[in-house]
Amino acid sequence: MRRVAMTLPEPAEPAGPGVAPPRSDWATLRRLLPYLWQYRVRVMVALAFLIGAKLANVGVPLLLKELVDALSIPPGDARALLVVPVGLLIAYGALRLSTSLFTELRELVFAKVTEGTVRSISLQVFRHLHSLSLRFHLERQTGGMTRDIERGARGVQSLISYSLYSIFPTLVEVGLVLALLGVKFDAVFVWITVAALACYIAFTVVVTEWRTQFRKAMNELDSSTHTKAIDSLLNYETVKYFNNEDYEAQRYGESLERLRRAKLKSQSSLSLLNTGQQLIIATALVAMLWRATEGVVAGTLTLGDLVMVNAFMIQLYIPLNFLGVVYRELKQSLTDLERMFALMEREREVDDPPGAPDLVVMHGEVRFEHVSFGYDANRPILHDVSFEIPAGHKVAVVGSSGAGKSTLARLLFRFYDVNAGRITIDGQDIRTVTQASLRRQIGIVPQDTVLFNDTVEYNIAYGRPGATREEVEAAARAAHIHDFIASTPKGYDTIVGERGLKLSGGEKQRVAIARTLLKNPPILIFDEATSALDSANERAIQAELASAARNKTALVIAHRLSTVVDADEILVMDGGRIIERGTHAQLLAAGGRYAQMWALQQSSSE
């Protein structure tokens, strides 16, 4: 295999669709609160169980002290069996059990809150992405976007669990321990604990803020790497055509190397943070035990007091260490969630006006009135285009590539809004009605058919979800693909593959025709609907399409003029303008551009 010598581009700053200016952490948390509010009863119940668990947890060292002091008798004393505080032992075990029981009850009650919130946010993001304009989806990076959504969903779970049910109970437990130390011992114990807490929190916040940059860089490189992998696999055939497997592997390998270095920086900074936290906790623990030991030697404290102080410090150590983990996870989750919320806040380029009514189609008359449009402001595509498709008529649009033919279909579907003029259906401006009702009334057979990686039946039935097998087969017969489907081992249960790649171009196009015939809308668009078919199948399907379009309003976009000779009117476009119009016979008689195109195609076919 030949070596591919190409200069690989430096990784660009990921500024794909949906990336918004960074928001504050509090702003991200406020976005989360409305989703939790719908589960407020469960949240309060779970919070009650959590407080119960913490109270039981703090009570354990107190009982342990009483138990140790009660057993402080000379060794070998026969009274030992009599003075064993059976009640204290039972209470100690009950408190230990209560801690676990309340914790499990909290998890049981709160599980629905977490999973329900993740579902709500993920579904809202999914719906919002489908509501965005075609421009967004043409510019998006699929791999990176799906990675952002995946990490964002995990971030929701972490934020809910950690922020509401870890930080708060830890603070409650710290407050209870400080109060008990202040009441039962002198203020030195409290000040040692407070100093340790202050140093621990300050160190954790400073270092975590510093290492957030490494986490963000890692996320961006992770999304970029994932995007390269997905894009390369989706374009598998192109890679093979140009023998660029090594080049793709080299690009992916360099992305993985940059990601590896970013992960090492993140892990190194994490190790530094963990080490510093352990040092602060160990120093505080030694100071507390030294103070308690002095009290036991001086006779001001009992052995049970020493055990209780040690137990309190161990119990503080666990949630305090967890508090550091929580803060790190919160910062990481907020970083992950920020990008998903940015997707949710991406403004819709094409939106329904408030209170927009549904489109009501009585006859199906379509009018383009002085329409001008450009995908980019500096590159206009259509210039003052006006024409009418009377109800039940077929109008064809022909012209060279880039003349603006397919743009008409996109505008009629309202994938974009016109820059000037208007498009109406039965006198209703399509910008004033809901997009959903508009698209229910229009069916299209696109030039480039993309199918779902599912069965043939699913793809045909997609035109009208819920259609019966008999209706699907009838549509397939009308599209002249039933015999082919029936000849396959699995018939209508045949999986068509990613984007329908297991089918030929003609087979995919016939599935698209069957799908539109099944939908049976009053307005039809045929965008090079038979371009991938051979001549025999094209003639057969043309008859079916003509039958399907009978009494319907049809816009036919064609390159082969032989497919539109029966149109009620033919529009010839060039440079975004209509330069000729009339029937096939009229345009031939005029001897203009259409006549030249017809003569050229006829000579080519001969």
What does the pLDDT read at residue 5? 38
The number of beta carbons lying within 10 Å of the beta carbon of residue 202 is 11
What does the pLDDT read at residue 163? 66
Closest listed residue to residue 481, CA positions, set 460, 463, 467 = 460
What DSSP line would sit under 299-367, residue for residue?
TSS-HHHHHHHHHHHHHHHHHHHHHHHHHHHHHHHHHHHHHHHHHHTPPPSS-PPTTPPPP--SS--EE
What does the pLDDT read at residue 133? 66
Closest listed residue to residue 71, CA positions, set 59, 85, 57, 51 = 85
Closest listed residue to residue 88, CA positions, set 106, 112, 110, 62 = 62
d(CA 408, CA 525): 10
d(CA 585, CA 583): 5
Question: How is residue 572 annotated by DSSP?
Answer: E
**Is-contact 147 16, C-beta < 8 A?**
no
What does the pLDDT read at residue 368? 95
What does the pLDDT read at residue 248? 87
Positions in the chain whose pLDDT score sits under 50: 1-20, 78, 80-83
Closest listed residue to residue 345, CA positions, set 35, 146, 154, 128 = 128
What does the pLDDT read at residue 3? 38
What does the pLDDT read at residue 367? 94
d(CA 441, CA 384): 25
What does the pLDDT read at residue 20? 47
Q: Is 117 exposed, middle or buried (0-12, 13-18, 19+ CB in 10 A)?
A: buried
**Structural domains present in the chain:** 25-344 (1.20.1560.10), 353-441+521-606 (3.40.50.300), 452-518 (no CATH)
Closest listed residue to residue 563, CA positions, set 526, 524, 592 = 526
**Is-contact 549 444, C-beta < 8 A?**
no
**According to DSSP H, which parts of 383-427 are helical?**
405-412
What does the pLDDT read at residue 580? 93
Question: How is residue 583 annotated by DSSP?
Answer: -
383 by DSSP, 3-state: which? Answer: strand
What does the pLDDT read at residue 138? 65
**Is-contact 512 477, C-beta < 8 A?**
no
The separation between the first and the last C-alpha atoms of the chain, rounded to the nearest angstrom, is: 42
The number of beta carbons lying within 10 Å of the beta carbon of residue 138 is 10
Alpha-carbon dihedral angle through residues 182, 185, 189, 190, given to the nearest 10 degrees: 0
What sign results for the dihedral spanned by CA atoms 136, 139, 142, 145? negative
Burial 262-286 (b: 16+ CB within 10 A, else e): bbebbeebbeebeebbeebbeebbe
Question: How is residue 454 annotated by DSSP?
Answer: S
